[in-house]
Chains A and B, each alone.
Chain A
Amino acid sequence: MPSVRDIKRRMKSVESIQQITKAMKMVAASKLRRTQTAVIRSRPYTEKLQEILHKIVASAGEITHPLLVERPVKAVGIILITADKGLAGGYNARVQKLALEEATRFAEQEIEVDFIAVGNKGHDFLKRREQKIKTDIVGLNDVPTFSEAQRLSKLIVDSFLAGEYDRVYLVYQEFVTTVQQRPVVKQLLPLLYEKGEAEEKEYIYEPAPQEVLSILLPQYINNTMFHILTETKASEHGARMTAMTSATDNAEEMIEKLNLSYNRSRQAAITREISEIVGGADALEA
Chain B
Amino acid sequence: MAKVLKLEVVTPERVSLQVEINSLVVPATEGSLGVLYNHAPLITGLEPGVLQYRQGEQTFFLAISNGFMEVADNLITVLVDTAEKPEEIDVERALAAKERAEKRLKEQKPGLDVHRAELALHRALARLKVADYKNVS
Q: Does A212 contact B (CB under 8 A)?
A: yes
Q: Are A205 and B12 in contact, with the CB atoms below 8 A?
A: no
A45 to B14, CA, bound (A): 8
Q: How far is the CA of A52 from the CA of B30 in the complex (A)?
A: 19
Interface contact B42-A203, CB-CB below 8 Å: yes
A98 within 8 A of B: no
Count of interface residues, chain B, beta-carbon cutoff 8 Å: 25
Q: Does B72 lie within 8 Å of A145, measured CB to CB? A: no
Main secondary structure of the interface of B (DSSP, over half): strand
Residues of A within 8 A of B15 (CB): 41, 44-45
Q: Range of interface residues on chain A?
A: 20 to 34
Dominant secondary structure at the A interface:
helix
Inter-subunit contact B11/A215 (CB<8 Å): no
> Which residues of B have CB within 8 Å of A55?
43
Cα of A226 to Cα of B14 in the assembled complex, Å: 12
Pick from A201, A207, A226: contact of B72, CB below 8 A: A201
- Confirm or deny: B62 has a beta carbon within 8 angstroms of a beta carbon on chain A: no
Asked if B125 is an interface residue, CB under 8 A from chain A, the answer is no
Separation of A205 and B70 alpha carbons in the complex (Å): 10
Question: Do A41 and B29 touch (CB < 8 A)?
Answer: no
Q: List 17 A-B contacts (CB under 8 A).
A: A41-B13, A41-B14, A44-B10, A150-B81, A204-B40, A204-B43, A205-B42, A205-B44, A206-B43, A207-B44, A211-B45, A212-B44, A215-B29, A216-B45, A219-B66, A219-B81, A222-B12
